[in-house]
Amino acid sequence: MTPDSKTSLTLAEKIIRDHLVSGEMNPGSEIAIRVDQTLTQDATGTLAYLEFEALGIPRVKTELSVSYVDHNTLQTGFENADDHLFLQTFAARYGIYFSRPGNGICHQVHLERFGKPGAVLLGSDSHTPTGGGLGMLAIGVGGLEIAAALSGRPFNLVMPEIFLVRLENRLPPWVSAKDVILKVLAEIGVKGGVGKILEYGGAGVETLTVPERATITNMGAETGATTSVFPSDELTKDFLSRQERAGDWRELSADPGARYSGELVIDLAALEPLAACPHSPDAVRTVKELAGTPVGQVCIGSCTNSSLADLMTAAAILKGKTVHPGVSLVISPGSRQVMEMMAANGALADLIASGARILESACGPCIGMGQSPSSGAVSLRTYNRNFRGRSGTADAEVYLVSPQTAAASSRKGEIFDPRELGDPPKIKLPIRFAVDDSLILPPSPEPETVEVIKGPNITAIPTGEPLPGEMTAAVWLEVGNNITTDDIMPAGSKILPLRSNIARISRYVFAALDPGFVERTEYERRLARRGVIVAGENYGQGSSREHAALAPYYLGVRAVIARSFARIHRSNLINFGILPLTPGEEEISGKLRVGDELCFPSLRREVEEGGPVTIRDMTRGGELRLTLELSPREREILLAGGLLRSLSG
């Protein structure tokens, strides 16, 4: 479909049409779109900017780019502080705004201060779709894609299907936007959004505020969707006006008669408080079913539920009450703006008086950066992921719930249905929010005078190697379905500070799943053998962290054979020269085992010709022909040895 061949367009199609550089808007075809804005956070940004620096371009070419510090804020050594200094000086030198530590979580601050309806935003964080709550096309990508966008190149993607989520009626008391997205996950699962944009419509949309919409689009990432988007309407205008940004508003919606690939209808009035049970965001049950389960920790905040309204609601539920003696309650305000306004209106004092522990405005416990629960504890979190071990405690039972359910349960010491508390609190938001951008530093007007400072933990990016004509490899690991990027490259306070040092962080690849993995790779490399990972469905779900591709590549992994791949991780694998192979019609169950020595006899020629890739099992005999579905652009990237080598010529 060409941009003008259809008179009735969805909202997502309109934004894509306005940014289309090449290709046609036919689902499954590769397109390229112009990028207006980018964002990075410190756990991914250091690598992204080192990659941009390697391209040799003196200044970024986007309309707006912002570097946030919100992940690695726990400074237990010099590494994180050095990264922050690098990011600040790099931003000043190359034309990027820098949001200082303490200013808030990237998605919350970007929503407040920079997001624009109708714009295309790329972010090196999988929850970048938060911006869809404003009517943006906001897409999470790997850092190399950010480096390419900063250099002025368009973003390439396969044109997604546009899937309608129709919202009807209005949420009942005590039910929130978190329950809406948990219902979506219950219906379509963690793979149901792959290859799709979730577009929200229906009469129920106009009952949801922008922060509520942003909660829904944020967790749309857990469905595997490319992004999620809401219309830009009078409520969007109201939000931007309160942020003193009314001039950024424009009205945007789907045309009457727009066609969608499918539709999910959700009756908001029929929803009740929900919870995602351990250890997947789509393992959803009602809070009523789970009521009475003892709770040891409650965490309220993160980029999903840390708006002023969310935290004021929690404060109102706790006002005059004391947190149960068996519960540790921690609060992570989403931004400095939220923190300051809560301090001014008394909500912060109410939380402190209840016994809550107030953390800085950062991601914190959501990415395992402190506040790990006790052994075997049940932790209720208003966050977006509850993968096993992500909290920092391997045997913790993490549930995802709304701020209402979290606050009510913290009082009771057990999972508690907030509807049992009677009438819900009434929250009144101010006409004008407290706007203070003093912690957002603009780029230097004299960039040539700025020295980019790199500490000793910031090392050079490993360079890829062109795809060889043939390759000897071995199966290094076999894993199951829904392997997350946390499984491949863990986060947490011990590992995150190593994000700018690939040699050091690679020591932790697959550490939770197979503690002996790295040691085995050292032996294999001495034999000049490369590695192959065999996996099931949805390999690489979760975070956008490109370290989950680059660190395995550094160790010698050159191919992953999986039934299917998560979108961002598949792109990251290609961008770092790893083959994402699928069996197609081939039956591989039991045919490949850990330790099997493999030969790819015609690898480069087969990739060049776009045909299946041949693998011979030299240990047990037999031959496989696996599918490698690539666009012409992706094929050139793999042949060159990765995107950075491809862009560098």
167 part of a folded domain: yes
2 part of a folded domain: no
| Measured CA distances, 192 to 231, 271, 274 (Å) | 22, 20, 19
Per-residue pLDDT at 1? 46
Last residue of a domain, one of 398, 418, 438: 418
Residue 5 has pLDDT above 50, yes or no: no
- Asked whether the beta carbons of 234 and 207 are under 8 A apart, the reply is no
**Strand, coil or helix: what is 149?**
helix
Residue 365 has pLDDT above 70, yes or no: yes
Distance CA 146, CA 131 (A): 16
Residue 152 tokens, joined: 């002025």
Name 297's bridge partners: 328, 379
Residue 326 tokens, joined: 């068996």
Q: Do 264 and 333 fall into the same domain? A: no
1 part of a folded domain: no
Q: Do 241 and 298 fall into the same domain? A: no
Nearest residue to 33 via CA among 138, 144, 184: 138
| Measured CA distances, 372 to 53, 196, 271, 395 (Å) | 36, 34, 31, 11
- Average pLDDT of the chain, as a whole number: 94
Boundaries of domain holding 114: 11-268
Express each pLDDT in 475-516 by its tens digit: 999 999 999 999 999 988 888 889 899 999 999 999 989 999
Q: Do 292 and 255 fall into the same domain? A: no
Specify the number of domains making up the chain. Answer: 3
Last residue of a domain, one of 234, 268, 302: 268
Residue 584 has pLDDT above 90, yes or no: no
Which H or E run includes 32? strand 30-33
Q: State the first-to-last Cα distance of the chain, in angstroms, to the nearest integer.
A: 33
Express each pLDDT in 14-42 by its tens digit: 999 999 999 999 999 999 999 999 999 99
Distance CA 517, CA 551 (A): 13
- 500: domain CATH number is 3.20.19.10
Q: What is the average per-residue pLDDT within 586-602?
A: 87
Express each pLDDT in 230-246 by its tens digit: 999 999 999 999 999 99
DSSP structure string for 267-323: EGGG---EEEPTT-TT-EEEHHHHTT-B-SEEEEETTTS-SHHHHHHHHHHHTT---
Residue 365 identity? P
**Strand, coil or helix: what is 326?**
coil
Q: How many helices (H) and strands (E) does the chain have?
A: 21, 27
Q: Do 165 and 294 fall into the same domain? A: no
Per-residue pLDDT at 3? 44
Distance CA 649, CA 646 (A): 5
566 part of a folded domain: yes
User: If pLDDT is split at 50, 70 and 90, which confidence band does 4 have?
Assistant: very low
Express each pLDDT in 460-477 by its tens digit: 888 889 999 999 999 999
Which H or E run includes 541? none
**Strand, coil or helix: what is 637?**
helix
Residue 545 tokens, joined: 């962290």
133 part of a folded domain: yes
Per-residue pLDDT at 2? 45
Q: Do 69 and 90 fall into the same domain? A: yes
3 part of a folded domain: no
Calculated CA dihedral for residues 286, 289, 292, 293, nearest 10 degrees: -70
Per-residue pLDDT at 230? 98
- Asked whether the beta carbons of 137 and 226 are under 8 A apart, the reply is no
- 346: domain CATH number is 3.30.499.10
Q: What is the average per-residue pLDDT within 53-66?
A: 96
Distance CA 275, CA 292 (A): 13
Distance CA 218, CA 467 (A): 37
User: If pLDDT is split at 50, 70 and 90, which confidence band does 649 have?
Assistant: low
61 part of a folded domain: yes
Per-residue exposure over 560-585, b if at least 16 CB sit within 10 Å of its own CB, e if not: bbbebbbbbbbbbbbbbbbbbbbbee
Express each pLDDT in 599-642 by its tens digit: 999 999 999 999 899 999 999 888 999 999 999 999 999 999 99
CA 128 to chain centre: 6
Q: Do 639 and 556 fall into the same domain? A: yes
Rounded to the nearest 5°, which phi and psi values hold at 18? -70, -15
Residue 177 identity? A
Q: Do 127 and 212 fall into the same domain? A: yes
DSSP 43: H
Torsion sign (Cα): 336, 337, 340, 341:
negative
Residue 6 has pLDDT above 70, yes or no: no
Q: Do 329 and 394 fall into the same domain? A: yes
Can you give the length of the chain in residues?
649
Residue 433 has pLDDT above 50, yes or no: yes
DSSP 335: B
* CB atoms near residue 91 (< 10 Å): 26
Per-residue pLDDT at 616? 95
* CB atoms near residue 620 (< 10 Å): 11
Residue 151 has pLDDT above 70, yes or no: yes
Torsion sign (Cα): 148, 154, 160, 163:
positive
Q: Do 359 and 503 fall into the same domain? A: no
Distance CA 281, CA 385 (A): 6
Last residue of a domain, one of 243, 268, 293: 268
Q: What is the average per-residue pLDDT within 585-591?
A: 74
Nearest residue to 145 via CA among 301, 17, 18, 38: 38
Q: Do 260 and 282 fall into the same domain? A: no
Distance CA 397, CA 389 (A): 9
Q: Do 542 and 593 fall into the same domain? A: yes
Residue 272 has pLDDT above 70, yes or no: yes
Distance CA 88, CA 153 (A): 24
Per-residue pLDDT at 168? 98
Q: Do 197 and 329 fall into the same domain? A: no
Per-residue pLDDT at 421? 97
Distance CA 351, CA 338 (A): 14
526 part of a folded domain: yes
